[in-house]
Structure 1
Amino acid sequence: MARMRSAKQKLKDCINSPEWRTHLDEIAEGGLENVGPLFSFLLLGPQTMHRAAVALGQVTARLAKSQPEAAKNIVRRLMWHLNEESGNIGWGIPEAFGEILAASEPLAKDFHRILISYIIDLGHDDNFCDHALLRRSCYWAIGRLAQDRPQLCLGARKWLIHGLEDEDIICRGMSAWALSQLPPDLMDAPALRRLAEAEHDETCELFDGNDIYEKGVSQIAREALEKLAG
């Protein structure tokens, strides 16, 4: 038991070190043994959570090549955590979902529609995430996937535009950020402009691949508009 605690602490120290990305190959080689600890790190502070999500993405992508069913089971575990019947809140789960699909093409092809479904609000018989704080992460996760696999996220565009008017203002900013990760489409401009002109100064927590940073909701929309213009 002590050895297990020691290994978990070593893994946590790697995730939190300035050179954490240099440890990702080693962490991925650890395979299934590292999955449990990385899941537990998703409940920690925002930066540790995001880095653990990246590491979990690398572990799962490696498993998808050698143990594809084990990798799919990890994604199914994420889906269960996001299911209301699980009794879990799901902190860090969308971020891990996005990182895994960004890291693995086979898993992305199989599960990208599930990830997108969490922002699709049909009013009934849908998979919509109605927990606003968690939905912010769902928007972020779709944007993260769009960075590496934009073609798989084109079907989310309609719902990201809808998200610009989400009842939760932070969700609006996260949706604008996700929309800006897709290939530019001038049809996005009117909805983005409305959000930009609303002057919402509430801040979104974003992750740049290494660190957490904050940006205002309307500022994100303005930058998305500038990207369209460019």
Structure 2
Amino acid sequence: MPRMRSAKQQLKRYLQSPQWREHLHDIAAGGATHVGPLFSFLPLDSQTMHRAAVALGLTTARLAEDEPEAARNIIRRFMWHLNEESGNIGWGIPEAFGESLAASPLLAGDFHRVLISYIINLGRDDNYCDNDILRRSCYWAVGRLARARPQLCAAARPWLRKGLDDKDVICRGMAAWALGGLPPDIMDAPALRRLAAAGHDECCELFDGDRIHEKSVSDLARETLAQIAPAGAA
């Protein structure tokens, strides 16, 4: 047990180091033995959570190459944590889900529709995440996958567009950011323009691949709108 605790603490030190990316290869090489500790870091502070999600995604992708069913079981574990019946809140789970699909073409092909389903509100029994704070992470996860594999996220566009009017203001900003990961579409412009003009200065937390930074909801709408230029500038 002390040896396991020591290994866990070493992983945590790696992720909280300024040179954390230099350790990712070794973390992923640990395979299934590192999955549990990485899961335990997901409820921590935002920066550690995102870095743990990256490491868990790469570890899962590495497993998918040699033990695809073991990797699929990790994704199913994400799905269970996001299931209301599990009794879990799921902090950090959408981020790890998105990172895993971004890192693995096999897993992305198998599970991208499931990830997108958490932002699809059909008004009946579905996978829609009705926890406002957790749903922010779901929008981020879809945006992360969209930036890595946009062809798999085309079906998310109408739901991201609908997310620009989400009842949670931060979700609106995250939906705008996620739309920015897809090829520009003039049909997104009207809703983005309304959100950009609304003057929402609430801040969204974003992970740039290394650290957390903040941008306002309306600024994110303006940035995505600018990608549709010249239509967005009209």
Give the TM-score category using the shorter length. Answer: over 0.9
Partner of 1:180: 180
Q: What letter is aligned with 1:145? A: L
Partner of 1:24: 24
Q: What letter is aligned with 2:136? A: R
Tell me by how many angstroms 1:136 deviates. Answer: 0.2
In 1, distance between residues paired with 2:106 and 2:13? 30
Alignment of 1:146-165 (within 5 A): 146-165=146-165
Partner of 1:3: 3
In 1, distance between residues paired with 2:102 and 2:228? 23
Q: What letter is aligned with 2:152? A: L
Partner of 1:54: 54
RMSD: 0.6
Tell me by how many angstroms 1:171 deviates. Answer: 0.2
Q: Tell me if 1:226 matches 2:221.
A: no
In 2, distance between residues paired with 1:81 and 1:122? 21
TM-score normalised by length of structure 1: 0.99
SS at match of 1:229: coil
Partner of 2:168: 168
Q: What letter is aligned with 2:68? A: P
| Deviation beyond 4 Å, 4+ runs, structure 1 | none
In 2, distance between residues paired with 1:203 and 1:78? 27
Number of equivalences: 230
Name stretches of at least 5 consecutive residues in structure 1 with no aligned partner. none
TM-score normalised by length of structure 2: 0.97
Name stretches of at least 5 consecutive residues in structure 2 with no aligned partner. none
Tell me by how many angstroms 1:169 deviates. Answer: 0.2
In 2, distance between residues paired with 1:43 and 1:225? 33
In 1, distance between residues paired with 2:209 and 2:178? 15
Tell me by how many angstroms 1:186 deviates. Answer: 1.0
Q: What letter is aligned with 1:107? A: L
Q: Tell me if 1:75 matches 2:75.
A: yes
Q: What letter is aligned with 1:27? A: I
Tell me by how many angstroms 1:126 deviates. Answer: 1.3
Tell me by how many angstroms 1:228 deviates. Answer: 1.4
